[in-house]
C-alpha cells in the first residue's frame, strides 16, 4: 500500500491550518455580528435531489460524486451549499422569513484539478431568503466589507445587475436565445479584453452591429456616477432600465451604510456565471495582491428555490460566498500576520512534579501552555521554542524549585527573570 | 422528486446548531489552551488506504462508504480520524515528535441507524503522538476535565489499563486466544451485569473456573486506592503487574494536576472496544443526566500507527475523542443554558435611512445587531423579538428621528428609554 492523497484533496498541517482556522473564525464572528445564524446540512444526500432539474445545471451534475450504499440507495456528495439550503426551506415550511443563515462546510466536485480548482473544498456561504428589497444586497456587501477589514485585506467590490447586461444586449439587437452565450463571453472582458471577447463571440456567430452597439454601452469608463449617468441617458430597454433603478438604489444604500465610495464600482459587463443570478451580482477583489481571482462573490437569485421546490411561492434570495483558499493565498501574498496568540513552553529539568503543577496553574489562568514532553535538555527545548515561535518559556530545575523562583524568558525581547509563579502569571497577563 | 434526508443524516437548524457551534468553540478553545494544533484531513481517501489491514478491522470496513470516481479510482469516505492521522504521520516524516494535534470533522459509516448511531457524524479528536510516559494520558484527562467544567457538565472518569484486564484473564486461566472475546463481554459488566456477562460468555464456551477467578478479581468494589491495594496483593501475572504500575503512576499524576479524587475512578473491567488500545483506557460519563453513553473516551494505542505504516519505528500514541451528539443531548437534559450573546433588533418605522445607519454604527461597536427587514408593524416585530430572544430592541420612527432620541427597550426587564445613539451604545455595552 502506497500512502498517498487523491489529487485535488489536501492535508492541512498545523502551520497552514492555524491560519485557515483564524480566517473561519473571523468569518463566523462577522456573520454572527450581522445576525446570521448557523445551519449545518449533511454532505451525503440522495442523488435525485442533488441532480434535480433546477439544482446545478448539467455541467455540475457531471462533476457530482455519486455512490450506492448497502441499501442500494443512490446517493451523492453535495457539490454546493445552495441546493441543501433550498431543500431545508422546502422541508421546513414553518421557518420564519427572512431566513438568515450561514454555513461553512465541505463540498465536492469530481472535475479536472488546476490552480485554484480542487476536488474537495470549503465553502463559506451567507444567504438571506425572503427579502425583495436591495437592503438585503447592501447588508451582505457591508458584511463582506467588514470581513475584509478584519482580515486586513484591502478590497474593491465590482457590482452589476444582470438585468442591465441582458437589457443592453437586447437593446443592441441580440435575441433572447443569444443572451446566455453572449453574456458568458462578455463576462470575460476584464480577463481577455475586447479583442478576446470579440474573437470568442465571432466563433459563436455573434458579431456585427449588435456587438458594436453593445460594446459602445458596456465599454464606458469613468466613475460609478458617470457610468450611471451615461447609461440612463442611452438606455431605452425596459429590463435594463429596471436594473438601472435597482443599482442606483443599491449604491445609495451602500453610501447610507458608510461603505467608502472608492471601494465599490459599477461594472456593467460583470455577469458572474450564468445559471442562477436574476439581478444584482457582485465580486470582491484584493487590491494589493497578485491573487487575481475573486475572494468573495454573490448576488440575487430570486428564482431557483421556487423552481427547485416546484412551487408558485416566491422565495427572493441574496447570497455571498467566501473563498477560503483565495483568502488564505492573499494573506500569504500580503505577508499579513495573523495574530498568533501568546504561548508558553514549560521546560522541566528533573522537576516534573512542580513543572506539571505550574502548567496546570497557567492553563487555569487561560494562558496557552505547552508542557515540554521532550526532555532532551534545555538547548533542544530552546530550539523547539524558537522554531515554533513560543512567546515565553519557563525553566524549572531543582535549583528553581528550591528557591520557588522560576526562570521566565521572553523569547521576543530575550529578557529573563527569576520570579514566583504569581509574578510569572502577572507578567504574561500584562504583556500587550 | 420528494424532498427527504438519508436516514442517519441530519439538518441542524439554527436553534440546535447555535448550541452545537458553542460546544465546538469550547472544545477548540480548550484544545488550544493545552497547545494542541489544528489538522485538517480530507473526507475522500483512496479505498485501499482506509481498508488497509491494520486500519479499522473488518467490521468497520463493511460499513465504509465507497465509490468510484470518473477516473475509475476506487475511493471511500473516511470512517474515523485516526487512519488519516496515521497516514499524515507516514507521509510527513519530518514532523517533530511529540505531534499534538486536534481535528474536528465529519466521518461516515454505512451501518444500521439507531439511537445514538447515525451515518454521518462529527468526531472531535485530540491525540498526542510520540510520548511513552503516562504524562500524556494525564494531560488528556486534565484537558477533558477542563472541557466539561467549561460546559458545566459534572462528569466522572472511569479509567483502566488493558494490560490489567488481559493479565487478570490470563492469570485466571483463560488462553491468549480467549482474550478478545472475553474482554468484549466483560466490557459490558456495567451495562448488562454479571449475570448477563456470564450468559454471553457461556454462549462463547467461556465458563468454569477461569471465569470465577476473573470475576473475583474484577468484581472488587471500593475506592480507587482500595481496589489498587487489593489487586496488587492478588495479582501475580507480569502483564497485569506492569499495567498496575502504570495506573498507579497515572493516578499520581492526576493528583499532581489537581484533578479531584472523586472525579476519577479505577474500573478494572473497563475495556473500551477491542482492536486498538494497548494500555490505558478511559471514558467520561455525565453524573446528573439520563444520558448513559460516554461523552468522551480514549486511551493509549502504541501499535496501530506502526502497523499501519508497516514500519519498525515506534509511534506511541494517546488520544481522546469527544462526542458532539451525546454532549449536546446532555446539555439539553440538564437544562443547562449555553450563554447566548446579547443581541439587538433594530425596528424602523418609515425611517429606514437612519435605522440602517444606526444598525451599521452598532455593528462597528461589535454589538450583534439585526436590522428588521420584516416591516410589518411594531407589534409583529415585538413578537419576533420575543420568540427569537433578542436582548434589546430599538424603535426608530419619524418622531424619534426628529428628536434624535430613540426607544431602547430591554426585553428581559421591560425597561424602556428614549436616548441618543451614544447612550444606547453605552447602555448595551455596560450590560453585565
The pLDDT score that the predictor gives to residue A338 is: 67
The pLDDT score that the predictor gives to residue B55 is: 67
Give the up-direction half-sphere exposure of residue A369: CA atoms within 13 A in the CB hemisphere.
Answer: 23
- In chain B, what residues touch A128 (CB-CB under 8 Å)? 373
The pLDDT score that the predictor gives to residue A190 is: 78
CA distance B70 to chain A (A): 7
CA distance A421 to chain B (A): 15
pLDDT at B56 > cutoff 70: no
Phi, psi of B345 (to 5 degrees): -110, 125
Phi, psi of B398 (to 5 degrees): -55, -40
pLDDT at A81 > cutoff 70: yes
**How many inter-chain contacts (A to B, CB under 8 Å) are there?**
231
Contact A101, A85 (CB under 8 A): yes
Q: Do A33 and B258 touch (CB under 8 A)?
A: no
Q: What percent of chain B has pLDDT over 90?
A: 77
Confidence of residue A116 (pLDDT cuts 50, 70, 90): confident
Mean pLDDT, rounded, of chain B: 93
Helix, strand and coil content of chain B, in percent to the nearest 5, comes to: 45, 20, 35
Give the residue-averaged pLDDT of A175-185.
88
The pLDDT score that the predictor gives to residue A373 is: 94
Q: Do A14 and B38 touch (CB under 8 A)?
A: yes
CA distance A168 to chain B (A): 31
Q: What cell numbers appear for A332 in the block?
A: 500569504
| Signed CA dihedral, B123, B127, B129, B131: sign only | negative
Cα Rg of chain B, angstroms: 27
Q: Residue A28 CB: number of other CB atoms within 10 A?
A: 17
Confidence of residue B274 (pLDDT cuts 50, 70, 90): low
Give the residue-averaged pLDDT of B290-295.
90
Q: Which of A17, A43, A131 sits opposite B120 (nearest CB)?
A: A43
The pLDDT score that the predictor gives to residue A220 is: 86
The closest alpha carbon to A268, from A197, A202, A174, A189, belongs to A189
d(CA B48, CA B52): 6
The pLDDT score that the predictor gives to residue A357 is: 97
Contact A325, A116 (CB under 8 A): yes
Burial B376-386 (b: 16+ CB within 10 A, else e): eebeebbebbe
Most confident of A83-92, A172-181, A325-334: A83-92
Please enumerate, as own/partner, the contacts of A24-31 that have beta carbons within 8 Å and a separation of 24 or more: A24/A104, A24/A122, A24/A124, A24/A324, A26/A147, A26/A150, A26/A151, A27/A104, A27/A124, A27/A147, A27/A322, A28/A102, A28/A104, A28/B21, A29/A150, A30/A143, A30/A146, A30/A147, A30/A150, A31/A102, A31/A126, A31/A143
Q: Do B96 and A384 touch (CB under 8 A)?
A: yes
CA distance B369 to chain A (A): 6
The closest alpha carbon to B174, from B196, B149, B148, B204, belongs to B204
- In chain B, what residues touch A305 (CB-CB under 8 Å)? none
- In chain A, what residues touch B136 (CB-CB under 8 Å)? 373
Q: What cell numbers appear for B230 in the block?
A: 487489593
Helix/strand/coil (H/E/C) assignment for every residue in A284-342 = EEECCCCCCCCCEEEEECCCHHHHHHCCCCCCCEEEEEEEHHHHHHHHHHCCCCCCCCC
H/E stretch holding A89: helix A82-91
Closest-CA residue of A relative to B75 is A6
ipTM, 2 dp: 0.93
Q: Is A99 helix (H, G, I), strand (E, B) or coil?
A: strand
Contact B368, A32 (CB under 8 A): yes
Closest-CA residue of A relative to B71 is A110
Give tens-digit pLDDT for B176-210.
Answer: 998 888 888 888 887 888 889 888 888 888 878 88
Q: Give helix B238-256 / helix B135-150 axis angle, nearest 10°.
A: 50
Residues 411-430, chain A, touching B (beta carbon < 8 A): none
- What domains appear along chain B, each with residue ranges and CATH number? 14-333 (3.30.930.10), 343-429 (3.40.50.800)
Give the best residue of B1, B65, B101, B381 to mutate against chain A (max A CB count within 10 A).
Answer: B1
Helix/strand/coil (H/E/C) assignment for every residue in B312-375 = CCCCCEEEEEEEHHHHHHHHHHCCCCCCCCCEEEEEECCCHHHHHHHHHHHHHCCCEEEECCCC
CA distance B173 to chain A (A): 39
CA distance A418 to chain B (A): 23
- In chain B, what residues touch A139 (CB-CB under 8 Å)? 371
Residues 306-365, chain A, touching B (beta carbon < 8 A): 309-310, 341, 343, 352-353, 356-357, 359-360, 363
d(CA B267, CA B165): 10
A66 touches B at CB < 8 Å? yes
Q: Residue A194 CB: number of other CB atoms within 10 A?
A: 12
Q: Which of B12, B120, B135 sits opposite A373 (nearest CB)?
A: B135
Contact A70, A44 (CB under 8 A): no
The pLDDT score that the predictor gives to residue A291 is: 87
Give the up-direction half-sphere exposure of residue A218: CA atoms within 13 A in the CB hemisphere.
Answer: 34
Contact A284, A143 (CB under 8 A): no
- In chain B, what residues touch A343 (CB-CB under 8 Å)? 35
Phi, psi of A339 (to 5 degrees): -50, 110
pLDDT at B54 > cutoff 80: no
Residues 105-164, chain B, touching A (beta carbon < 8 A): 106, 108, 110, 119-120, 128, 130-131, 133, 135-136, 138-139, 142, 146
H/E stretch holding B133: none
Q: Is the peptide bond before A98 cis (omega within 30 degrees of 0)?
A: yes
Strand B406-410 vs strand A368-371: parallel, antiparallel, or unpaired?
A: unpaired
A5 touches B at CB < 8 Å? yes
Give the residue-averaged pLDDT of B40-69.
89
Contact A141, A253 (CB under 8 A): no
Q: Give helix B352-364 / helix A238-256 axis angle, nearest 10°.
A: 50
The pLDDT score that the predictor gives to residue B375 is: 82
Give the up-direction half-sphere exposure of residue A105: CA atoms within 13 A in the CB hemisphere.
Answer: 25
Give tens-digit pLDDT for A247-291.
Answer: 999 999 999 999 999 999 999 999 987 678 999 999 999 998 888
Q: Residue A148 CB: number of other CB atoms within 10 A?
A: 23
- Which residues make Cβ contacts (< 8 Å) with residue A314, sequence separation at least 6? A302, A306
Q: What cell numbers appear for A126 in the block?
A: 451567507
Closest-CA residue of B relative to A133 is B373
Q: Which of A11, A69, A106 sits opposite B65 (nearest CB)?
A: A69
Q: Do B135 and A6 touch (CB under 8 A)?
A: no
Mean pLDDT, rounded, of chain A: 93
Give the residue-averaged pLDDT of B53-63.
78
Confidence of residue A345 (pLDDT cuts 50, 70, 90): very high
pLDDT at B148 > cutoff 80: yes
> Sheet holding A120-129: strands in order across?
A37-38, A99-108, A120-129, A317-323, A296-300, A280-286, A155-161, A264-266
Closest-CA residue of B relative to A12 is B40
Q: Do A135 and B3 touch (CB under 8 A)?
A: no
pLDDT at A413 > cutoff 90: yes
Q: Which of A145-154, A370-379, B74-83 has the lowest mean pLDDT?
A: A370-379
Give the residue-averaged pLDDT of B275-282.
92
Closest-CA residue of B relative to A37 is B14
d(CA B21, CA B136): 28
The pLDDT score that the predictor gives to residue A274 is: 66
Closest-CA residue of B relative to A68 is B67
B386 touches A at CB < 8 Å? no
Q: Which of A53-62, A117-126, B129-138, B315-324 has the lowest mean pLDDT?
A: A53-62
Phi, psi of B231 (to 5 degrees): -70, -40
Q: Is A271 helix (H, G, I), strand (E, B) or coil?
A: coil
Q: Do A373 and B131 touch (CB under 8 A)?
A: yes
Closest-CA residue of A relative to B63 is A70
Q: What cell numbers appear for A372 in the block?
A: 515540554
- In chain A, what residues touch B120 (CB-CB under 8 Å)? 42-44
Q: What cell numbers appear for B377 in the block?
A: 408593524
d(CA B207, CA B187): 16
> Sheet holding A343-348: strands in order across?
A368-371, A343-348, A392-396, A406-410, A416-419
Contact A374, A384 (CB under 8 A): yes
Q: Which of A6, A39, A341 sits opposite B75 (nearest CB)?
A: A6
pLDDT at A339 > cutoff 80: no
Q: Which of A43, A258, A343 sits opposite B106 (nearest CB)?
A: A43
A230 touches B at CB < 8 Å? no
Q: Do B40 and A11 touch (CB under 8 A)?
A: yes
Q: Give helix A352-364 / helix B238-256 axis angle, nearest 10°.
A: 50
Q: Do B258 and A91 touch (CB under 8 A)?
A: no
Q: Do B4 and A49 touch (CB under 8 A)?
A: yes
Closest-CA residue of A relative to B146 is A364
Partnered with residue A395 across adjacent β-strands are A347, A407
> Sheet holding B296-300: strands in order across?
B37-38, B99-108, B120-129, B317-323, B296-300, B280-286, B155-161, B264-266
B3 touches A at CB < 8 Å? yes
The pLDDT score that the predictor gives to residue A56 is: 66
Burial (CB < 10 A; 0-12, 13-18, 19+), residue A209, is exposed
CA distance B368 to chain A (A): 4
Location of C-alpha cell 473564525 = A25
Give the best residue of B256, B305, B306 to mutate against chain A (max A CB count within 10 A).
Answer: B256
Confidence of residue A60 (pLDDT cuts 50, 70, 90): confident
Contact A48, B11 (CB under 8 A): no
Partnered with residue B102 across adjacent β-strands are B38, B126
- In chain A, what residues touch B40 (CB-CB under 8 Å)? 10-12, 17, 20
The pLDDT score that the predictor gives to residue B276 is: 87
- The residue that leads in pLDDT, B58 or A202, is A202
DSSP B96: P
Give the up-direction half-sphere exposure of residue B143: CA atoms within 13 A in the CB hemisphere.
Answer: 36
pLDDT at A27 > cutoff 90: yes
Burial (CB < 10 A; 0-12, 13-18, 19+), residue A393, is buried
Q: Do B40 and A12 touch (CB under 8 A)?
A: yes
d(CA A394, CA A404): 13
Amino acid at each position: 500500500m502506497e500512502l498517498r492523497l487523491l489529487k485535488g484533496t489536501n492535508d492541512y498541517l498545523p502551520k497552514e491550518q492555524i491560519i485557515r482556522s483564524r480566517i473561519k473564525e473571523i468569518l463566523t464572528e462577522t456573520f454572527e455580528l450581522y445576525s446570521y445564524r448557523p445551519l449545518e446540512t449533511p454532505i451525503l444526500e440522495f442523488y435525485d435531489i442533488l441532480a434535480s432539474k433546477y439544482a446545478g445545471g448539467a455541467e455540475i451534475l457531471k462533476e457530482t460524486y455519486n455512490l450506492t450504499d448497502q441499501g442500494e440507495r443512490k446517493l451523492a456528495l453535495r457539490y454546493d451549499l445552495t441546493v441543501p439550503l433550498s431543500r431545508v426551506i422546502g422541508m421546513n415550511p414553518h421557518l420564519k422569513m427572512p431566513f438568515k443563515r450561514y454555513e461553512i462546510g465541505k463540498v465536492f466536485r469530481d472535475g479536472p484539478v488546476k490552480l485554484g480548482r480542487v476536488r474537495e473544498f470549503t465553502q463559506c456561504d451567507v444567504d438571506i431568503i425572503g427579502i425583495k428589497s436591495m437592503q438585503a444586497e447592501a447588508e451582505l456587501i457591508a458584511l463582506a466589507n467588514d470581513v475584509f477589514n478584519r482580515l486586513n485585506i484591502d478590497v474593491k467590490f465590482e457590482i452589476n445587475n444582470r438585468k442591465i447586461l441582458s437589457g443592453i444586449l437586447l437593446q443592441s439587437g441580440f435575441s433572447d436565445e443569444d443572451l446566455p452565450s453572449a453574456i458568458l463571453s462578455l463576462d470575460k472582458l476584464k480577463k481577455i479584453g475586447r479583442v478576446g471577447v470579440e474573437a470568442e463571440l465571432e466563433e459563436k456567430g455573434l458579431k456585427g452591429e449588435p456587438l458594436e452597439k453593445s460594446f459602445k454601452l458596456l465599454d464606458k469608463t469613468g466613475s460609478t456616477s458617470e457610468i450611471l449617468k451615461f447609461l440612463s441617458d442611452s438606455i431605452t430597454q425596459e429590463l435594463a432600465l429596471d436594473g438601472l433603478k435597482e443599482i442606483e438604489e443599491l449604491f445609495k444604500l451602500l453610501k447610507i451604510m458608510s461603505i467608502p465610495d472608492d471601494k465599490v464600482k459599477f461594472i456593467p459587463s460583470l455577469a458572474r456565471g450564468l445559471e442562477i443570478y436574476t439581478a444584482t451580482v457582485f465580486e470582491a477583489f484584493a487590491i494589493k495582491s497578485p491573487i487575481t481571482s475573486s475572494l468573495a462573490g454573490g448576488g440575487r437569485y430570486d428564482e431557483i428555490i421556487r423552481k427547485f421546490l416546484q412551487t408558485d411561492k416566491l422565495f427572493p434570495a441574496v447570497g455571498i460566498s467566501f473563498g477560503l483558499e483565495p483568502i488564505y493565498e492573499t494573506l500569504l501574498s500580503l505577508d499579513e500576520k495573523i495574530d498568533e496568540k501568546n504561548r508558553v513552553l514549560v521546560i522541566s529539568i528533573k522537576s516534573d512534579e512542580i513543572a506539571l503543577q505550574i502548567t496546570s496553574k497557567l492553563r487555569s489562568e487561560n494562558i496557552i501552555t505547552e508542557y515540554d514532553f521532550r526532555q532532551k535538555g534545555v538547548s533542544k527545548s530552546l530550539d523547539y521554542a524558537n522554531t515554533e515561535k513560543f512567546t515565553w518559556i519557563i525553566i524549572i530545575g531543582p535549583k528553581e524549585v528550591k528557591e520557588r523562583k522560576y526562570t521566565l524568558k521572553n523569547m521576543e525581547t530575550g529578557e529573563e527573570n527569576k520570579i514566583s509563579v504569581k509574578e510569572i502569571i502577572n507578567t504574561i497577563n500584562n504583556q500587550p
